[in-house]
Structure 1
């Protein structure tokens, strides 16, 4: 707003005492002070209100006014309640420094002026920003230019002094202006948002955390959310919608500012829909591989499809990666809501490292869905081995780690009528192992489903040997278990002719006796100890433990 507008508002009771030629200055804020030197609190463009308590004699006016002029304030308004008429020395100092000066009637409170200025400045900024947001929306809907959510959030910060972040339903930060939020804060904000949506509360939702108040606005794209086309129930979208978290209390915001934030969420939703459309290719690749695996296609055909998928999922990768399968299922009480699409969207988010911000990391996750299951094909880049090692570091996903950072928000979104169960296979190095990995992940998910709780996961390592003896365990799971234990030894024997498999069989037949086993194999005991040590190193097992001996025994019998 302009200084001139203050004189045109009779309710403010302002009289101009000097600075007629400077009334077109822009007012960007308001500050009340009686400090002799308030420069540290000034940023420029303020209307400064003062009761003149800083003034002891006429010599004080010039330094005070010079400080304000140097700071670039828009004008000075002095109250008449303390001294009556405004001193001439202050009027003269303002004229010399070309600083507009107003007298404030003693009947008018500074709070009245402050409220008026803040309301006007905020409204005009919001109007200007709304126009910018509208232009940005047209750019994003008409072509690739636009810059994404971060540009819009930067506008909120620079024009309205609002810090804001876009979060996924699991609490991962997708975009933000300024410093990122702490992971615990993100998880708590996402949980509050999901709980509010599940209970039907109208947004924006407000929450106080660590002394700060946040307002949460849902971001819903086309076809998602209550009332959207194709969305019959809030549970169909609650675990896939993004949210906008603003560091402010929106409870007393005027309608114009609320409308502006609603426009921002719609703009970000455009970007969300665009990314969902781009994800279609990866989903189709996953669906094609899944259909080949489930129909028993030849490994060569599956391997060819994987070679097509690898450059899309891991651009620039020189060699074919290892693969891992993750199966997730979302079940709602009553069973009247399809869980497959919900689980698909949710699994794509869960598989992203929660410490990585931005929307791009999920672009390398390929998730298909079959019925109520979501099935992810996760590429694992093969890392180079350290000197003296047979293989590189383990980069495989672990079931107990996948849900640790997202459990709080997911429990809030599932409420008391939903459940998420998740199973993780071991890593496989070729197309031949994918069918076994799929069945292994499915069986691990069944193990998780047998546990109490709304969010449960299980991994391949929990399919112990005694579980494999149960009659309902699929043959593919048994074969995957056997391959995971014995394939590293077979590969080593093939490359080095080390006879680790015969050594393992003899060692178990001799009940772990070093002397009897060495005699049977016609080896020195030290040579036997070297071979057993290599077996343990390649498999990560300990042949002094009864459980590991039993696993090897069953694997050899089932091979």
Structure 2
């Protein structure tokens, strides 16, 4: 289609700001971006849509326009929703480079323009694509009851007889057809994601064909154009952030029209991906604010006030303030040199090697925070749940090359029963290790640390340090994807004086707070009973005599201690942990 045709469609809300003499240019595609340098995603002939988030000042317009012109784009359309009128410096830069410039009215969504262009460009090549796009447009405007990529995948099945599934890089099923047919097993999802990540690392263009169990799948990348300007340019990091469309068919013998059709569908899904990424902005900002307060030593009351703001956003309708859990992640590459102040480098915590498994250097100056942030938002969703909604309960910030997730947990009963709640490191690792190891290949690592749940602002700093320390424990292990949880910090070896004070406090609080709470409510004297029991080396008779109790009463109290903490006082390890916790409290 010609650029001139865009002005003939009133529904697009486009206003020409410059380049009238270039309106006979041909448009071959459309891309939405706020990257400062989107050249790697451009092949020429695109109409580029931007919300101008890349612009920090007038000087940025010249470099952005120059990059677009060098990539051979047809025109630029700038939205007015963020900054109001399109800045004069962008108008002048487009005029200097003879790049047609349109303004997009704030009432018009970029998705509307994208769908119009895709429909027009592809209509002559594939009539069935026009039907799919039109149905998708109607679906998107019909409200939340009919929206989502699931419906697009149903259309592929009903209109084109293609079964397709949308997967995360960790192999989680995001969307699939609701029409009759067997569901895609979790194991197959993980293998397809692994194959996609491994193929993506080679730099080969999709679709990638994979045969599993006698069935051939074609894998199409969903390249989100809505990454932040700081997003990684490196293909190693880019592939770790991509969704993929897995189609049950061999695309090797498809005509160009059919391939164009599927690429058009991936563009439509990318628009939905961008919308969902934008919805994460508020949660990311909340996490960043809480993290900054925690790290700067803000008063607990101020942190608690910010948590009260975050709770209804992350868990709408929740009556009571939730408990919180912290997860820390870091993505590192072999060619990122280690440096002072980086966990795992010289000067780090005692007992943690400066080199990874096999003597390989880790850590470094490359900021892997953004890709770790994107990964953490995906992998913290229950791998057995479909759809995007569960990720709305996860707030992830990134700082200093690491991503930090603030995960709310529904408030539990005040009676501790010693059971584990929330995210478990082993389960998390099991769900994502295989596919992500393929994406990290032989030069990258993902390490994860998981804290215990805390119920107050006072415990949040300790939880953060606990998760960071657990991540450093994971980093000392072999493997491309490693995780460690707070349970692994319970060993007395890690509670020697060189361990950070916050980690000690988190450890003692986890063991003794349930007992203190119970004593406060019931005046049961569990703490004095525990001290006496340990002092008597676990002798029931000696301890009962010292406390002037009947042995049965002592056994009841010790049983209550074990129930509240999930520990076993007949085990030497648990006795030692209690002994250290009491000495450090």
- TM-score norm. by structure 2 comes to 0.70
Partners in 2 of 1:408 and 1:419 — Cα distance? 12
Partner of 2:165: 165
Q: 1:187 and 2:213 equivalent?
A: no
Output aligned runs, 1:467-482, within 5 Å: 467-482=493-508
**Which runs of structure 2 are paired with 1:219-238 in the superposition (5 Å)?**
219-222=222-225, 231-238=232-239
CA distance in 2, matches of 1:141, 1:249: 29
1:214 aligns with 2:217: yes
Aligned position for 1:290: 291
Of the three residues 546, 554, 562, the one matched with 1:520 is 546
Which one of 323, 326, 351 corresponds to residue 380 of structure 2?
351
**Residue 419 of structure 1 aligns with which residue?**
445
Partner of 1:399: 425
Q: 2:16 aligns to what?
A: none
Measure, in 2, the Cα distance between the counterparts of 1:514 and 1:558.
25
Task: State the shift of 1:291 in Å.
Answer: 0.9
Alignment-derived partner of residue 109 in structure 1: none
Quote how far apart the aligned CAs of 1:363 are: 1.2
- Could you say what secondary structure the match of 1:404 adopts? helix
Cα distance, 1:303 vs structure 2: 1.0
Question: Secondary structure at the residue paired with 2:274?
Answer: helix
The 1-side partners of 2:305 and 2:484 are apart by 30
Change (3 A) 1:390 1:374: closer
1:339 aligns with 2:368: yes
After TM superposition, the structure 1 = structure 2 runs for residues 429-444 of structure 1, keeping only pairs within 5 Å, are: 429-444=455-470
Counterpart of 1:535 (choices 528, 553, 561) is 561
Matched, 1:127 2:126: yes
Match of 1:250 in 2: 251
Q: 2:473 aligns with which of 447, 457, 467?
A: 447
1:310 paired with 2:311, answer yes
Whole-Å separation in 2 of the counterparts to 1:255 and 1:364: 41
CA distance in 2, matches of 1:287, 1:124: 45
Summarize deviations over 1:227-263 as a string: whole Å, max 9, x none.
x996521123111110000000000000000001000
Distance in 1 (CA, whole Å) between partners of 2:502 and 2:142 is: 48
Report if aligned partners of 1:125, 1:160 keep a CA contact under 8 Å in 2: no
Partner Cα separation in structure 2 for residue 377 and residue 149 of structure 1 = 27
* CA contact 1:141–1:270 (8 Å) conserved in 2: no
Q: 1:200 and 2:199 equivalent?
A: no
Tell me if structure 2 keeps the 8 A contact 1:193–1:216.
Answer: yes
User: Higher mean Cα deviation, 147-156 or 191-200?
Assistant: 147-156
Offset from partner CA, 1:5-54 (integer Å, 9 cap, x none): xxxxxxxxxxxxxxxxxxxxxxxxxxxxxxxxxxxxxxxxxxxxxxxxxx
1: distance between equivalents of 2:452 and 2:123? 58
Deviation at 1:391, TM superposition (A): 4.9
1:361 has 2:390 as partner: yes
Residues 438 and 447 of structure 1: CA distance in aligned 2, closer, same or farther (over 3 Å): same
Q: Distance in 2 between matches of 1:222 and 1:279?
A: 15
Q: Distance in 1 between matches of 2:422 and 2:137?
A: 43
User: Corresponding residue for 2:83?
Assistant: none
Using the size of structure 1 for normalisation, the TM-score is: 0.74
Which residue of 2 is the match for residue 548 of structure 1?
574
Decide whether aligned partners of structure 1 residues 230 and 514 sit closer, same or farther in structure 2, where only a CA change above 3 A counts: closer
Q: What per-residue deviation string (whole Å, max 9, x for no partner) do you get for residues 444-494 of structure 1?
A: 000000001111000111113423344431000001100000000000000
In 2, Cα distance between the equivalents of 1:558 and 1:347?
Answer: 34
Partner of 1:237, secondary structure, is helix
Q: CA deviation at 1:510?
A: 1.1
Unaligned runs of at least 5 residues, structure 1: 1-122
| Counterparts of 1:390 and 1:445, CA distance in 2 | 26
Shift of 1:382: 2.4
Determine the C-alpha separation between the residues in 1 that align with 2:135 and 2:235.
29
